[in-house]
Chain A
Amino acid sequence: MKVTMRVNGGERTGDVEPRVLLADFLRTNLALTGTHIGCDTTSCGACTVLLDGEPVKSCTLLAVQVDGRDITTVEGLAQGGALSPVQVGFHEEHGLQCGFCTPGMMLVGTALLEQNPDPTEEQIRWAISGNICRCTGYMNIVKAIQHAANVKQAAASAPSPAAVAAGGGE
Protein backbone atom coordinates (compact mmCIF):
# COMPACT_ATOMS: atom_id res chain seq x y z
CA MET A 1 0.00 0.00 0.00
CA LYS A 2 1.11 3.51 -0.67
CA VAL A 3 1.60 5.69 2.40
CA THR A 4 2.35 9.38 2.60
CA MET A 5 3.21 11.21 5.80
CA ARG A 6 5.02 14.31 6.90
CA VAL A 7 8.22 13.31 8.68
CA ASN A 8 10.19 16.06 10.39
CA GLY A 9 8.50 18.64 8.19
CA GLY A 10 9.00 16.97 4.82
CA GLU A 11 6.58 14.80 2.88
CA ARG A 12 7.72 11.19 2.63
CA THR A 13 6.08 8.36 0.78
CA GLY A 14 6.56 4.64 0.71
CA ASP A 15 5.05 1.47 -0.64
CA VAL A 16 4.62 -0.96 2.24
CA GLU A 17 2.79 -4.07 3.27
CA PRO A 18 0.05 -3.29 5.82
CA ARG A 19 1.91 -5.30 8.45
CA VAL A 20 4.96 -3.02 8.41
CA LEU A 21 5.31 -1.23 11.74
CA LEU A 22 5.97 2.49 11.79
CA ALA A 23 9.26 1.93 13.66
CA ASP A 24 10.49 -0.35 10.87
CA PHE A 25 9.24 1.99 8.15
CA LEU A 26 11.18 4.88 9.68
CA ARG A 27 14.34 2.86 10.18
CA THR A 28 14.33 0.70 7.06
CA ASN A 29 12.52 2.69 4.37
CA LEU A 30 13.49 6.18 5.47
CA ALA A 31 16.86 5.30 7.09
CA LEU A 32 15.92 7.33 10.17
CA THR A 33 17.67 5.05 12.64
CA GLY A 34 17.45 7.48 15.54
CA THR A 35 14.15 5.76 16.34
CA HIS A 36 15.35 2.76 18.33
CA ILE A 37 13.69 -0.60 18.73
CA GLY A 38 14.23 -1.84 22.25
CA CYS A 39 11.71 -4.31 23.63
CA ASP A 40 9.43 -4.47 20.59
CA THR A 41 6.58 -5.22 23.02
CA THR A 42 5.16 -1.76 23.85
CA SER A 43 7.05 -1.64 27.13
CA CYS A 44 10.24 0.41 26.84
CA GLY A 45 9.54 3.56 24.82
CA ALA A 46 12.85 3.52 22.87
CA CYS A 47 10.78 3.73 19.66
CA THR A 48 8.86 6.84 20.76
CA VAL A 49 7.98 9.32 18.03
CA LEU A 50 5.57 12.26 18.05
CA LEU A 51 2.34 11.67 16.12
CA ASP A 52 0.71 15.05 15.49
CA GLY A 53 2.76 16.29 18.45
CA GLU A 54 1.85 13.51 20.87
CA PRO A 55 4.32 10.83 21.97
CA VAL A 56 3.42 7.31 20.87
CA LYS A 57 5.22 3.98 20.56
CA SER A 58 6.08 3.44 16.91
CA CYS A 59 6.59 -0.31 17.40
CA THR A 60 2.86 -0.50 18.15
CA LEU A 61 1.60 1.43 15.14
CA LEU A 62 1.28 0.32 11.56
CA ALA A 63 2.84 2.62 9.00
CA VAL A 64 -0.48 2.58 7.10
CA GLN A 65 -2.31 3.87 10.19
CA VAL A 66 -0.45 7.17 10.07
CA ASP A 67 -1.05 7.83 6.37
CA GLY A 68 -1.60 11.57 5.98
CA ARG A 69 -0.36 12.45 9.46
CA ASP A 70 2.59 14.25 10.97
CA ILE A 71 5.55 12.45 12.53
CA THR A 72 8.51 13.88 14.42
CA THR A 73 11.52 11.69 15.13
CA VAL A 74 14.65 12.58 17.07
CA GLU A 75 16.24 13.66 13.79
CA GLY A 76 13.66 16.45 13.63
CA LEU A 77 14.53 18.07 16.96
CA ALA A 78 17.61 20.11 15.96
CA GLN A 79 16.77 23.10 13.77
CA GLY A 80 19.32 24.51 11.33
CA GLY A 81 22.17 22.73 13.09
CA ALA A 82 21.22 24.16 16.50
CA LEU A 83 20.23 21.71 19.24
CA SER A 84 16.71 22.08 20.62
CA PRO A 85 16.32 23.18 24.26
CA VAL A 86 15.64 19.59 25.31
CA GLN A 87 18.75 18.35 23.50
CA VAL A 88 20.77 21.11 25.19
CA GLY A 89 19.32 19.98 28.52
CA PHE A 90 20.43 16.37 27.97
CA HIS A 91 23.90 17.62 26.98
CA GLU A 92 24.29 20.00 29.92
CA GLU A 93 22.86 17.72 32.60
CA HIS A 94 24.44 14.53 31.27
CA GLY A 95 21.00 13.02 30.71
CA LEU A 96 22.34 9.86 29.10
CA GLN A 97 24.96 7.19 29.35
CA CYS A 98 24.50 4.57 26.63
CA GLY A 99 22.03 6.74 24.72
CA PHE A 100 19.64 3.99 23.73
CA CYS A 101 16.57 5.44 25.44
CA THR A 102 17.58 9.04 24.71
CA PRO A 103 15.61 9.70 21.49
CA GLY A 104 12.41 8.59 23.19
CA MET A 105 13.13 10.50 26.38
CA MET A 106 13.87 13.69 24.44
CA LEU A 107 10.71 13.41 22.35
CA VAL A 108 8.56 12.84 25.45
CA GLY A 109 10.28 15.82 27.10
CA THR A 110 9.67 17.96 24.02
CA ALA A 111 5.97 17.08 23.91
CA LEU A 112 5.61 17.68 27.66
CA LEU A 113 7.10 21.18 27.48
CA GLU A 114 4.87 22.09 24.55
CA GLN A 115 1.85 21.25 26.70
CA ASN A 116 3.19 22.35 30.06
CA PRO A 117 6.12 24.80 29.91
CA ASP A 118 6.72 24.71 33.67
CA PRO A 119 6.25 21.11 34.83
CA THR A 120 6.90 19.95 38.38
CA GLU A 121 9.36 17.13 38.98
CA GLU A 122 6.36 14.87 39.62
CA GLN A 123 4.84 15.80 36.25
CA ILE A 124 8.12 15.12 34.46
CA ARG A 125 8.47 11.74 36.13
CA TRP A 126 4.89 10.88 35.20
CA ALA A 127 5.46 11.96 31.58
CA ILE A 128 8.49 9.67 31.19
CA SER A 129 6.87 6.76 33.01
CA GLY A 130 6.35 4.88 29.73
CA ASN A 131 10.06 5.13 28.84
CA ILE A 132 12.66 2.89 30.40
CA CYS A 133 16.29 3.86 31.01
CA ARG A 134 18.67 1.21 32.33
CA CYS A 135 21.72 3.45 32.92
CA THR A 136 21.06 6.71 34.69
CA GLY A 137 18.38 5.97 37.21
CA TYR A 138 16.35 8.84 35.72
CA MET A 139 17.81 11.58 37.97
CA ASN A 140 19.72 13.30 35.18
CA ILE A 141 16.94 12.79 32.66
CA VAL A 142 14.58 14.68 34.97
CA LYS A 143 17.22 17.39 35.44
CA ALA A 144 17.73 17.61 31.68
CA ILE A 145 14.04 18.26 31.07
CA GLN A 146 13.98 20.80 33.92
CA HIS A 147 17.01 22.50 32.34
CA ALA A 148 15.18 22.66 29.01
CA ALA A 149 12.11 24.17 30.69
CA ASN A 150 14.31 26.87 32.24
CA VAL A 151 16.09 27.59 28.95
CA LYS A 152 12.78 27.88 27.10
CA GLN A 153 11.28 30.16 29.74
CA ALA A 154 14.34 32.40 29.80
CA ALA A 155 14.17 32.64 26.01
CA ALA A 156 10.47 33.46 26.12
CA SER A 157 10.84 36.24 28.70
CA ALA A 158 13.97 37.82 27.21
CA PRO A 159 13.43 40.36 24.43
CA SER A 160 14.25 38.83 21.05
CA PRO A 161 17.39 40.11 19.27
CA ALA A 162 15.18 41.55 16.54
CA ALA A 163 13.12 43.47 19.07
CA VAL A 164 16.30 44.80 20.70
CA ALA A 165 17.69 45.87 17.32
CA ALA A 166 14.45 47.69 16.62
CA GLY A 167 14.68 49.49 19.95
CA GLY A 168 11.85 47.38 21.35
CA GLY A 169 11.72 45.49 24.59
CA GLU A 170 9.83 46.87 27.56
Chain B
Amino acid sequence: MWGFLGGQAMFPAAFDYLAPTTLGEALDILAERGDDAKVMAGGQSLIPLLKLRFAQPALVLDIGRLPKLNVVSRHDGRLIIGALVRHVDVERDRTLADNAPIMAEAAHWIADPLVRNRGTLVGSVCHADPAGDWGAVMLALNAELVAKSKAGERVIAAAEFFKDPFTTALKPNEIVTEIRIPIPPGQAGGAYNKLERKVGDFATVAVAVQVEMNGRKVTRAGIGLTSVGPTNIKATEAEKALAGQELTDETIREAARLAASAADPKDDIRGSAAYKKDVVRVFVQRGLHTALGRAQEKRT
Protein backbone atom coordinates (compact mmCIF):
# COMPACT_ATOMS: atom_id res chain seq x y z
CA MET B 1 0.00 0.00 0.00
CA TRP B 2 1.18 3.45 -0.80
CA GLY B 3 -0.46 6.73 -1.67
CA PHE B 4 -1.29 8.08 1.79
CA LEU B 5 2.44 8.28 2.50
CA GLY B 6 3.40 11.75 3.59
CA GLY B 7 -0.03 13.04 2.71
CA GLN B 8 -2.74 14.53 4.84
CA ALA B 9 -5.47 12.53 3.15
CA MET B 10 -8.92 13.22 4.48
CA PHE B 11 -11.38 10.41 4.69
CA PRO B 12 -14.65 9.88 6.49
CA ALA B 13 -15.29 7.87 9.62
CA ALA B 14 -16.47 4.36 8.80
CA PHE B 15 -20.10 3.89 7.81
CA ASP B 16 -22.32 1.20 6.35
CA TYR B 17 -23.27 1.82 2.75
CA LEU B 18 -26.39 0.66 0.98
CA ALA B 19 -27.42 1.52 -2.58
CA PRO B 20 -30.87 0.03 -3.14
CA THR B 21 -32.33 -0.16 -6.63
CA THR B 22 -35.99 0.28 -5.72
CA LEU B 23 -37.71 3.02 -3.76
CA GLY B 24 -39.59 0.42 -1.69
CA GLU B 25 -36.31 -1.11 -0.58
CA ALA B 26 -34.89 2.32 0.29
CA LEU B 27 -37.96 3.21 2.38
CA ASP B 28 -37.79 -0.14 4.19
CA ILE B 29 -34.19 0.57 5.13
CA LEU B 30 -35.07 4.05 6.42
CA ALA B 31 -38.04 2.69 8.39
CA GLU B 32 -35.58 0.55 10.29
CA ARG B 33 -32.42 2.64 10.42
CA GLY B 34 -33.54 6.19 9.58
CA ASP B 35 -32.37 7.69 12.87
CA ASP B 36 -28.74 6.80 12.15
CA ALA B 37 -28.80 7.25 8.39
CA LYS B 38 -28.05 10.01 5.92
CA VAL B 39 -29.63 9.90 2.48
CA MET B 40 -27.18 10.71 -0.30
CA ALA B 41 -27.94 11.62 -3.92
CA GLY B 42 -24.93 13.26 -5.63
CA GLY B 43 -23.00 13.58 -2.39
CA GLN B 44 -21.55 17.01 -3.17
CA SER B 45 -22.67 18.42 0.19
CA LEU B 46 -22.60 15.24 2.26
CA ILE B 47 -19.20 13.85 1.29
CA PRO B 48 -17.33 17.06 2.27
CA LEU B 49 -19.13 16.91 5.65
CA LEU B 50 -18.23 13.24 6.06
CA LYS B 51 -14.58 14.00 5.26
CA LEU B 52 -14.49 16.79 7.84
CA ARG B 53 -16.32 14.42 10.19
CA PHE B 54 -18.96 17.06 10.84
CA ALA B 55 -21.33 14.26 9.86
CA GLN B 56 -20.76 10.71 11.11
CA PRO B 57 -23.85 8.69 10.21
CA ALA B 58 -23.86 4.94 10.86
CA LEU B 59 -25.39 4.42 7.43
CA VAL B 60 -25.13 6.24 4.13
CA LEU B 61 -28.14 5.38 2.00
CA ASP B 62 -27.17 6.11 -1.61
CA ILE B 63 -30.33 6.75 -3.65
CA GLY B 64 -28.26 7.28 -6.81
CA ARG B 65 -29.35 3.95 -8.24
CA LEU B 66 -33.11 4.43 -7.81
CA PRO B 67 -34.90 4.45 -11.16
CA LYS B 68 -36.90 7.25 -12.81
CA LEU B 69 -35.86 10.01 -10.42
CA ASN B 70 -33.54 11.79 -12.86
CA VAL B 71 -36.38 13.27 -14.86
CA VAL B 72 -37.84 16.75 -15.32
CA SER B 73 -41.45 16.65 -16.45
CA ARG B 74 -44.56 18.75 -16.68
CA HIS B 75 -47.76 17.47 -15.20
CA ASP B 76 -51.04 19.01 -14.10
CA GLY B 77 -49.83 22.61 -14.31
CA ARG B 78 -46.64 21.86 -12.42
CA LEU B 79 -43.01 21.28 -13.19
CA ILE B 80 -41.78 18.09 -11.55
CA ILE B 81 -38.10 17.75 -10.70
CA GLY B 82 -37.02 14.27 -9.61
CA ALA B 83 -34.63 13.70 -6.72
CA LEU B 84 -31.72 12.76 -9.00
CA VAL B 85 -31.95 15.73 -11.38
CA ARG B 86 -28.53 17.38 -11.23
CA HIS B 87 -27.70 21.08 -11.36
CA VAL B 88 -26.26 20.56 -14.86
CA ASP B 89 -29.55 18.98 -15.98
CA VAL B 90 -31.43 22.04 -14.70
CA GLU B 91 -29.03 24.29 -16.62
CA ARG B 92 -29.80 22.49 -19.89
CA ASP B 93 -33.44 21.48 -19.56
CA ARG B 94 -35.77 22.94 -22.20
CA THR B 95 -38.99 22.47 -20.21
CA LEU B 96 -37.55 24.46 -17.33
CA ALA B 97 -36.08 27.08 -19.66
CA ASP B 98 -39.51 27.64 -21.22
CA ASN B 99 -41.50 27.70 -17.97
CA ALA B 100 -39.16 28.93 -15.26
CA PRO B 101 -36.07 30.66 -16.68
CA ILE B 102 -34.91 31.57 -13.17
CA MET B 103 -33.99 27.90 -12.72
CA ALA B 104 -31.25 27.80 -15.36
CA GLU B 105 -30.03 31.20 -14.23
CA ALA B 106 -29.64 30.00 -10.64
CA ALA B 107 -28.14 26.63 -11.66
CA HIS B 108 -25.40 28.43 -13.56
CA TRP B 109 -24.21 30.08 -10.34
CA ILE B 110 -24.02 26.97 -8.19
CA ALA B 111 -20.56 25.80 -7.15
CA ASP B 112 -18.54 25.02 -10.30
CA PRO B 113 -19.15 22.94 -13.45
CA LEU B 114 -17.66 19.76 -11.98
CA VAL B 115 -19.78 19.89 -8.85
CA ARG B 116 -22.83 20.63 -11.01
CA ASN B 117 -22.17 17.37 -12.87
CA ARG B 118 -22.81 15.45 -9.63
CA GLY B 119 -24.88 17.53 -7.23
CA THR B 120 -28.67 17.46 -7.32
CA LEU B 121 -31.28 20.18 -6.80
CA VAL B 122 -33.34 18.11 -4.35
CA GLY B 123 -30.24 17.03 -2.43
CA SER B 124 -29.16 20.63 -2.09
CA VAL B 125 -32.59 21.70 -0.82
CA CYS B 126 -32.64 18.84 1.72
CA HIS B 127 -29.13 19.74 2.89
CA ALA B 128 -30.71 23.07 3.94
CA ASP B 129 -27.53 25.09 4.04
CA PRO B 130 -28.64 28.69 4.67
CA ALA B 131 -26.07 29.65 2.00
CA GLY B 132 -27.62 27.22 -0.51
CA ASP B 133 -29.00 28.77 -3.66
CA TRP B 134 -31.91 26.46 -4.41
CA GLY B 135 -33.73 27.09 -1.14
CA ALA B 136 -34.22 30.75 -2.02
CA VAL B 137 -35.39 29.88 -5.52
CA MET B 138 -37.86 27.30 -4.18
CA LEU B 139 -39.25 29.86 -1.71
CA ALA B 140 -39.70 32.43 -4.48
CA LEU B 141 -41.44 29.89 -6.72
CA ASN B 142 -43.71 28.50 -3.95
CA ALA B 143 -42.39 25.01 -4.59
CA GLU B 144 -43.61 21.90 -2.78
CA LEU B 145 -41.57 18.89 -1.72
CA VAL B 146 -42.97 15.39 -1.95
CA ALA B 147 -41.71 13.30 0.98
CA LYS B 148 -42.22 9.56 0.90
CA SER B 149 -41.91 7.03 3.70
CA LYS B 150 -43.13 3.52 4.29
CA ALA B 151 -46.21 5.11 5.90
CA GLY B 152 -47.11 7.01 2.75
CA GLU B 153 -46.57 10.38 1.17
CA ARG B 154 -46.92 13.99 2.29
CA VAL B 155 -46.43 17.28 0.53
CA ILE B 156 -44.46 20.01 2.29
CA ALA B 157 -44.50 23.65 1.14
CA ALA B 158 -41.01 25.12 0.75
CA ALA B 159 -42.07 27.87 3.19
CA GLU B 160 -42.62 25.17 5.86
CA PHE B 161 -39.52 23.13 5.04
CA PHE B 162 -36.53 25.07 6.38
CA LYS B 163 -36.39 25.04 10.18
CA ASP B 164 -32.81 25.84 11.17
CA PRO B 165 -29.34 25.64 9.65
CA PHE B 166 -29.09 22.19 8.04
CA THR B 167 -32.43 21.26 9.64
CA THR B 168 -35.66 20.64 7.77
CA ALA B 169 -39.21 19.42 8.36
CA LEU B 170 -38.18 16.04 6.96
CA LYS B 171 -38.53 13.01 9.24
CA PRO B 172 -35.71 10.46 9.51
CA ASN B 173 -37.78 7.83 7.67
CA GLU B 174 -38.59 10.09 4.71
CA ILE B 175 -37.03 10.63 1.29
CA VAL B 176 -37.89 13.61 -0.89
CA THR B 177 -38.62 12.01 -4.24
CA GLU B 178 -39.51 15.16 -6.17
CA ILE B 179 -40.07 18.89 -6.03
CA ARG B 180 -43.10 20.43 -7.68
CA ILE B 181 -43.18 23.97 -8.98
CA PRO B 182 -46.52 25.51 -9.98
CA ILE B 183 -46.48 26.94 -13.51
CA PRO B 184 -48.01 30.43 -13.38
CA PRO B 185 -51.09 30.76 -15.58
CA GLY B 186 -50.27 34.16 -17.10
CA GLN B 187 -47.20 36.27 -17.68
CA ALA B 188 -44.38 35.63 -15.28
CA GLY B 189 -40.72 36.38 -14.90
CA GLY B 190 -37.97 35.68 -12.43
CA ALA B 191 -34.35 36.49 -11.73
CA TYR B 192 -31.55 35.19 -9.53
CA ASN B 193 -28.84 37.62 -8.51
CA LYS B 194 -25.83 36.31 -6.62
CA LEU B 195 -22.76 38.01 -5.21
CA GLU B 196 -19.84 35.63 -4.79
CA ARG B 197 -16.15 36.31 -4.29
CA LYS B 198 -15.07 33.70 -6.82
CA VAL B 199 -16.46 30.75 -8.77
CA GLY B 200 -17.40 27.96 -6.41
CA ASP B 201 -17.71 30.10 -3.31
CA PHE B 202 -20.92 30.28 -1.36
CA ALA B 203 -22.99 33.40 -1.87
CA THR B 204 -22.12 36.51 0.10
CA VAL B 205 -25.73 37.36 -0.64
CA ALA B 206 -28.15 36.10 -3.26
CA VAL B 207 -31.77 36.93 -4.01
CA ALA B 208 -34.39 35.02 -5.99
CA VAL B 209 -37.31 37.04 -7.31
CA GLN B 210 -40.40 35.87 -9.17
CA VAL B 211 -43.35 38.01 -10.32
CA GLU B 212 -46.58 36.79 -11.84
CA MET B 213 -48.62 39.42 -13.63
CA ASN B 214 -52.07 40.10 -14.94
CA GLY B 215 -51.68 43.06 -17.26
CA ARG B 216 -49.71 45.65 -15.32
CA LYS B 217 -50.65 44.31 -11.90
CA VAL B 218 -48.71 41.77 -9.86
CA THR B 219 -50.89 38.81 -8.95
CA ARG B 220 -48.15 37.10 -6.93
CA ALA B 221 -44.60 38.01 -6.01
CA GLY B 222 -42.07 35.60 -4.56
CA ILE B 223 -38.81 36.66 -2.93
CA GLY B 224 -36.28 34.25 -1.44
CA LEU B 225 -32.98 35.22 0.25
CA THR B 226 -29.70 33.31 0.47
CA SER B 227 -26.89 33.61 3.06
CA VAL B 228 -28.56 36.26 5.19
CA GLY B 229 -29.99 34.26 8.08
CA PRO B 230 -30.17 30.88 9.81
CA THR B 231 -32.13 29.47 6.84
CA ASN B 232 -33.07 30.63 3.38
CA ILE B 233 -35.62 33.35 4.08
CA LYS B 234 -38.95 34.07 2.39
CA ALA B 235 -39.45 37.83 2.41
CA THR B 236 -43.17 37.56 3.07
CA GLU B 237 -43.85 41.23 3.90
CA ALA B 238 -42.20 42.35 0.69
CA GLU B 239 -44.19 39.79 -1.29
CA LYS B 240 -47.46 41.00 0.25
CA ALA B 241 -46.61 44.62 -0.43
CA LEU B 242 -46.30 43.88 -4.15
CA ALA B 243 -49.47 41.81 -4.58
CA GLY B 244 -52.11 43.72 -6.51
CA GLN B 245 -49.69 46.58 -7.26
CA GLU B 246 -48.12 47.82 -10.45
CA LEU B 247 -44.33 47.55 -10.47
CA THR B 248 -43.24 51.17 -10.31
CA ASP B 249 -39.96 52.59 -9.03
CA GLU B 250 -41.80 53.39 -5.82
CA THR B 251 -43.38 49.96 -5.17
CA ILE B 252 -40.12 48.25 -6.10
CA ARG B 253 -38.17 50.47 -3.69
CA GLU B 254 -40.60 49.72 -0.89
CA ALA B 255 -40.47 45.94 -1.50
CA ALA B 256 -36.66 46.11 -1.50
CA ARG B 257 -36.71 47.95 1.82
CA LEU B 258 -39.05 45.36 3.37
CA ALA B 259 -36.97 42.45 2.05
CA ALA B 260 -33.79 44.00 3.48
CA SER B 261 -35.45 44.29 6.88
CA ALA B 262 -36.43 40.58 6.69
CA ALA B 263 -32.75 39.67 6.26
CA ASP B 264 -30.85 38.76 9.40
CA PRO B 265 -27.22 38.42 8.29
CA LYS B 266 -24.08 38.21 10.41
CA ASP B 267 -20.72 39.90 10.07
CA ASP B 268 -18.19 37.46 8.61
CA ILE B 269 -15.25 37.30 6.20
CA ARG B 270 -17.58 37.92 3.28
CA GLY B 271 -18.88 41.23 4.60
CA SER B 272 -20.57 43.10 7.41
CA ALA B 273 -24.20 42.55 8.29
CA ALA B 274 -25.07 46.10 7.23
CA TYR B 275 -23.40 45.60 3.86
CA LYS B 276 -25.23 42.34 3.25
CA LYS B 277 -28.59 43.90 4.11
CA ASP B 278 -27.91 46.62 1.60
CA VAL B 279 -26.99 44.05 -1.06
CA VAL B 280 -30.37 42.40 -0.43
CA ARG B 281 -32.04 45.77 -1.04
CA VAL B 282 -30.11 46.33 -4.27
CA PHE B 283 -30.67 42.76 -5.53
CA VAL B 284 -34.42 42.88 -4.86
CA GLN B 285 -34.65 46.10 -6.85
CA ARG B 286 -32.48 44.79 -9.64
CA GLY B 287 -34.25 41.41 -9.65
CA LEU B 288 -37.71 42.96 -9.82
CA HIS B 289 -36.73 45.16 -12.77
CA THR B 290 -35.30 42.12 -14.60
CA ALA B 291 -38.28 39.93 -13.70
CA LEU B 292 -40.71 42.59 -14.92
CA GLY B 293 -38.87 42.81 -18.24
CA ARG B 294 -38.97 39.04 -18.62
CA ALA B 295 -42.66 38.84 -17.74
CA GLN B 296 -43.43 41.46 -20.39
CA GLU B 297 -41.36 39.61 -23.00
CA LYS B 298 -43.50 36.56 -22.40
CA ARG B 299 -46.75 38.41 -23.11
CA THR B 300 -48.80 36.40 -25.54
Contacts and interface: CB of A to CB of B under 8 A. Distances in A.
Interface string B35-52: 000000001100110110
Given A19-B50, A60-B48, A64-B17, A37 B115 contact: no
B169 interface: no
Interface residues of A, number: 36
Contacts of A18: 14-17, 60
B229 interface: no
B114 A48 contact: yes
B48 A41 contact: yes
Nearest to A107: B114
A70 interface: no
Given A24-B3, A33-B3, A40 B10 contact: yes
A4 B7 CA distance: 26
Contacts of B269: none
Nearest to B46: A60
Nearest to A126: B113
B118 interface: yes
Given A60-B48, A64-B19, A127 B11 contact: no
The secondary-structure label for the interface of chain A is: mixed
Interface string B1-25: 1111001111111111101000000
Q: Mostly helix, strand, loop or mixed at chain B's interface?
A: loop
A19 B11 contact: yes
A43 interface: yes
A27 interface: yes
Contacts of B115: 42, 57, 60, 130
Contacts of B19: 64-65, 67
Interface centre among A20, A126, A129, by most chain B C-beta atoms within 10 angstroms, is A129
B64 interface: yes
Interface in A69-98: none
Nearest to A57: B114
A5 interface: no
Interface string B244-272: 00000000000000000000000000000
20 contacts: A1-B17, A17-B14, A19-B12, A19-B50, A24-B3, A37-B9, A40-B10, A40-B51, A41-B51, A42-B47, A48-B114, A51-B118, A54-B117, A55-B117, A56-B117, A57-B114, A60-B44, A60-B115, A127-B113, A130-B111
List 5 tightest A-B contacts by C-beta distance, closest first: A130-B112, A18-B17, A28-B3, A130-B114, A129-B199
Interface of A: 1, 17-21, 24, 27-28, 31, 33, 37, 40-43, 45, 48, 51, 54-57, 59-62, 64-65, 67, 108, 126-127, 129-131
Given A41-B48, A42-B44, A62-B60, 4 more contacts: A18-B14, A20-B11, A51-B118, A56-B118
